[in-house]
Amino acid sequence: RKEVEQDPGPFNVPEGATVAFNCTYSNSASQSFFWYRQDCRKEPKLLMSVYSSGNEDGRFTAQLNRASQYISLLIRDSKLSDSATYLCVVILYRGGFKTIFGAGTRLFVKA
């Protein structure tokens, strides 16, 4: 079983739609959580951190459920420019901090 698992998608949604991605992690020693965005043939860029209380940044909302070991990303009012791959990232402590990347969920927003 992978340490961080994401639905690869693709998710195909119309402009203006609300879309949600989930990510599960297997190691309860996971300490920090992030969502990254990666455009085609580009580097990943930090989208937002994920806090236990949940956090929002404009149209993006991130949630963490430690009991069930998953994090989520909600995108409201999708824009064409939101089309990208979204990577779930977990930092866990295992004799030192280690960053684990999910394989990503692809999103296509269409006009």
**Interacting residue ranges for another protein, rule: CB under 8 A:** 4, 8, 31-32, 34, 41-46, 49, 87, 89, 91, 93, 96-97, 99, 101-104
Pair 72, 22: CB distance under 8 Å = yes
Find where tokens 């455009």 sit: 39
Q: Which is nearer to another protein, 2 or 16 (CB)?
A: 2
Instruction: Give the distance, in angstroms, between the CA of residue 45 and the centroid of all CA atoms in the same chain.
Output: 12
Q: What is the closest distance, in whole angstroms, from the C-beta atom of residue 48 to another protein in the complex? A: 10
Pair 50, 62: CB distance under 8 Å = yes
Q: What is the closest distance, in whole angstroms, from the C-beta atom of residue 44 to another protein in the complex? A: 6
Q: Which is nearer to another protein, 76 or 106 (CB)?
A: 106
Residue 71 and residue 25: Cα distance in Å, rounded?
A: 8
Residues facing 5 on adjacent strands: 24
Q: What is the closest distance, in whole angstroms, from the C-beta atom of residue 111 to another protein in the complex? A: 26
